[in-house]
Amino acid sequence: MIPLRPKYRRRQKPSLGAVLIAMLAFLCLPALLAFAEAGTPPSSRRSDAAYAAHKPKLERDLAAAGLELGRPVYLRITKQPAELTAYVADADGAFKAFRSWPICSVSGGLGPKMREGDGQAPEGFYKVAPAQMNPASSYHLSFNLGYPNAFDRANGRTGSFLMVHGSCVSIGCFAMTDPGIEEIWTLMQAAFEGGQSSLDVHIFPFAMTGDNLAAHWGSEHLSFWTALAPAWTGFEQTGRVPRVKVSGKAYQVLGAHQGETGAPR
């Protein structure tokens, strides 16, 4: 049986509305590119209100510590104790501890996240860019940690939408109080607007001291934690965020140069 030749429809002319939309997109393209290059995170009335409310006090508190709002920020999380600490770069580029907030809810226990649905919060080295900020989160304000990163993917670890957020409730995320996430958001937004293209978030089970590692000597996660430890030690010694790369299925922690940060994607 010979197949029938398909009938082709006459090509329709684009509507006036479609032409106008295309022209508008073309005219707006430079502005959109400039916005993307500026590194400004997305905003909402909620995030704008939080920024306006917290900016004056943060400026005063930072100035009292010899720091400045808008300088680069580095975030470090520990599960024991459950807290998030923000470090802000001084005029010489060294990061100084500014403020810690208790994490009011984190699910799971010590150890990395392994798979989707395990209820575990991740550990390791992550990087947050402006596009990962969510000013209209169902959990007040939030930012995506970028899990799984290159290391997680190389080791077959799965999961998605691992966040730091407000509302003090968590399933695999790090939940802060609403005032806490508002202060953290303000520091991050100011840093992005000040020129920081992305910021590092390092997540540890506990302070990576020799005594703490020895106390968990029998843990199945000890080799993983031992690989994280040089980043903790290097930062404590220098105030610089170490550069991290993934070699095969392993983290490799490198020395940091002035102004450099770098967690693997």
What are the tens digits of pLDDT across the range 18-71? 433 333 333 333 333 334 345 789 999 999 999 999 999 999 999 999 999 999
Q: Is the pLDDT of residue 3 over 70?
A: no
Backbone phi, psi, residue 64, to 5° = -65, -25
The Cα–Cα gap between 234 and 55 comes to 31
Region of poorest pLDDT, from 90-99, 148-157, 198-207, 252-261: 252-261
Q: Is the pLDDT of residue 17 over 90?
A: no
**For residues 246 and 151, what is the distance between their CA atoms, to the nearest angstrom?**
6
**What's the whole-number mean pLDDT along residues 219-237?**
97
Q: Which of 28, 54, 168, 173 is catalytic?
A: 173
CA terminus-to-terminus distance, the chain: 56
Query: Where residue 264 falls among pLDDT bands split at 50, 70, 90?
Result: low
How does 162-190 read in b/e, with b if 16+ C-beta sit within 10 Å?
Answer: bbbbbbbebebbbbbbbebbbbbbbbbbb
Q: pLDDT, tens digit, for every residue of 182-211? A: 999 999 999 999 999 999 999 999 999 999
Q: What is the pLDDT of the chain when averaged over all its residues?
A: 86
CA of 114: how far to CAs of 121, 153, 154, 252, in Å? 9, 10, 12, 20
Question: Of all residues in the chain, what percent carry a pLDDT higher than 70?
Answer: 82
Residue 263: per-residue pLDDT: 55
pLDDT band at 105 (very low <50, low <70, confident <90, very high): confident
121-125, 143-147, 257-261: least confident range: 257-261
Separation CA 12–CA 261 (nearest Å): 53
The pLDDT score that the predictor gives to residue 31 is 37
Under a CB-based contact definition with an 8 Å cutoff, are residues 96 and 90 in contact? yes
Residue 7 pLDDT grade (very low, low, confident, very high; cuts 50, 70, 90): very low
Write the pLDDT tens digit of every residue in 125-154.
999 999 999 999 999 999 999 999 999 999
What pLDDT is attached to residue 255? 80
Q: What pLDDT does residue 262 have?
A: 52
Backbone phi, psi, residue 124, to 5°:
135, -155
- Residue 165 annotated in active site: yes
Selected catalytic residue, list 140, 165, 202, 221: 165
Rounded CA-CA distance 241/73 in Å is 10
What is the structure's pLDDT at 147? 97
**Would the pLDDT of 107 be above 50?**
yes
Residue 173 designated active-site: yes
Per-residue model confidence (pLDDT) at position 152: 97
Flag whether pLDDT at 6 surpasses 60: no
